[in-house]
Amino acid sequence: MNRTAIYPGTFDPVTLGHVDVVRRGLKLFDRVVVGVADNPGKGPMFDVEERLEMVKEAFSDADNVKAVRFSGLLVDLAHQQGAHAILRGLRAASDFEYEFQMATMNRRLDERIETAFVMAREDYTFVSSRFIREISSMGGDVSELVPAVVLRFLKPGKQPKPIA
């Protein structure tokens, strides 16, 4: 049986923490489909096409990982992609509350789809897209925390959008 999981997120931008989640997910599933959410409400720094391109390039050497853009219900995307599960990563207890709500809501929407969590690698527990945006906009070096493609997109002077 071909077991597929959807790994949804904003990926603004994709980090090595995300890459690690996918790698761990591939121990549990045959394929991982990374769902890059439109999420205009979050005021992303990169538009969805840029975020998708970075994810695609970060996983270009993996046949069992594909990336798609999506808006709308995650459970609908799961069905479209033939996925049985949603994959998410946990860094710290602070992630739990939101993840718990999301997993519970998705289960209410569709009982058949399970949410599976993997734990962040210890040295990436502090890595978040938000810190990457902030540190790089202030000229800090994030080269050990993101796939190489992201460094090309994080041009000096690209500022994170102010939070509304």
Q: Is 79 a catalytic residue?
A: no
> Under the criterion CB under 6 A, does residue 24 sit at the interface with ligand ADP?
no
User: Catalytic: which of 24, 51, 91, 133?
Assistant: 91
User: Where are the alpha helices (H) located in the chain, listed in sequence order?
Assistant: 16-28, 48-58, 74-80, 93-109, 129-137, 148-153
What's the CA gap between 84 and 78, in Å, rounded? Answer: 7
CA dist 148 and 53 (Å) reads 13
Are the CB atoms for 6 and 69 separated by under 8 Å? no
Three-state SS for 5? strand
One of 50, 57, 95, 110 touching ligand ADP (CB under 6 A) = 95
| Residue 128 contacts ligand ADP per CB under 6 A | yes
* Least distance between ligand ADP and beta carbon 120 (Å): 3
Task: Tell whether residue 147 is a contact of ligand ADP (CB under 6 A).
Answer: no
Residues numbered 3 to 22 that lie near ligand ADP (CB under 6 A) are 9-11, 15, 17-18, 21
Q: Least distance (Å) from ligand ADP to the CB of residue 119?
A: 7
Residues that are catalytic: 18, 42, 91, 129
